[in-house]
Amino acid sequence: MINAIEFDSAYETVFAQNGLTTFDALFAYSQGQRVNRNERRDVTVLQLPAKGGGAFFMKRFHCPHLKDMLFTFRNFGRPCSQAELEWRNARTLLDNGIETYRPVCWGAETWCGIERRSLFVTQKIEGQSLIEFLFERWGAFGASEKEELVKAMAHFFQKIHRARLSLPDSYLWHLFVMSPIDPQHGYRFAIIDLHRMQIHAAAPRYAAGNLGALLFSLPDEWFDDRLRQLFLDTYLEPSNGLSLDCRDAFLNTLRRRQTLLTARRQKPSLDHLRHLA
């Protein structure tokens, strides 16, 4: 059995002052608040008091599925742990000027090169969940304010797709609005949940699938047909680089993803989103 851990140099001292420098120490950490859990992973909040510390999130992966291992091989040309996958994906986004959680460290326990369990630690995003933001402000927004936010979202996804990146889980609940929040000077967004992110995804079908997931996740109570069309018109403006010849194929792929998701799960409502805020 081999254990490995890698820190971003900016955070290594903070974790050393809290006795969390090894994979085993971090994976066994039990003092934080657990905020999410399923049979394959859990998320815990770490509050570290040292200078430069603060709130961190640790995602622990248990018993990775074979399909997850194959996905990492297709993405990077070699096997890597689920934690290293998210570490590399986060750094790729940041290198392309796309905000996400700041990677702190990753670690893995392997046997004969096969992942048994792993962990990924990030710094808390300096911003607010977009769902929380919308619950607080959407009702007071006028038409022009709603339009500005929708256009900013479209430009954010343009930037992701120009970098040839695909995030199939581009749902509303995976978006943050970054601080300081200043609508007059434009919104800045971040995206999380990167375990299915693909690199070198240049084909328009990847982008269309991402946007199909996003539009599926937008509640009708907030985003009517006019705002949805504004989002698509802004995203598909000529400067995005999509030729008019492929516009219809792009929209058809987008609609197919929406239809598929609608058949599989209930369309999100405000009541549903309140539980995610």
Report pLDDT for 113.
Answer: 73
Residue 269 is predicted with a pLDDT of: 87
pLDDT given for residue 110 in this prediction:
84
Divide the 277 residues of the chain into consecutive groups of 10 and give the mean pLDDT of each group. Answer: 88 92 94 79 88 86 72 69 93 97 94 86 93 96 96 96 96 95 85 93 93 97 97 88 74 96 90 83
* CB neighbours of residue 242 within 10 Å: 19
All structural domains of the chain: 2-123 (3.30.200), 127-274 (1.10.510.10)
CA 31 vs. chain centroid, Å, equals 26
Task: Sheet with 41-48: list strands edge to edge.
Answer: 2-7, 102-111, 114-123, 54-62, 41-48, 33-37
pLDDT at 18: 92
**Dist. CA 268–CA 205, nearest whole Å:** 24
Contact 193, 90 (CB under 8 A): no
SS3 state of residue 54: strand
The pLDDT score that the predictor gives to residue 258 is: 96
Q: Are 117 and 8 in contact (CB under 8 A)?
A: no
Report pLDDT for 253.
Answer: 95
Strands 54-62 and 114-123: antiparallel
pLDDT value of position 180: 84
Q: How far is CA 190 from CA 32, 102, 130, 242, in A?
A: 24, 11, 9, 24
Q: How far apart are CA 274 and CA 159, in angstroms?
A: 29
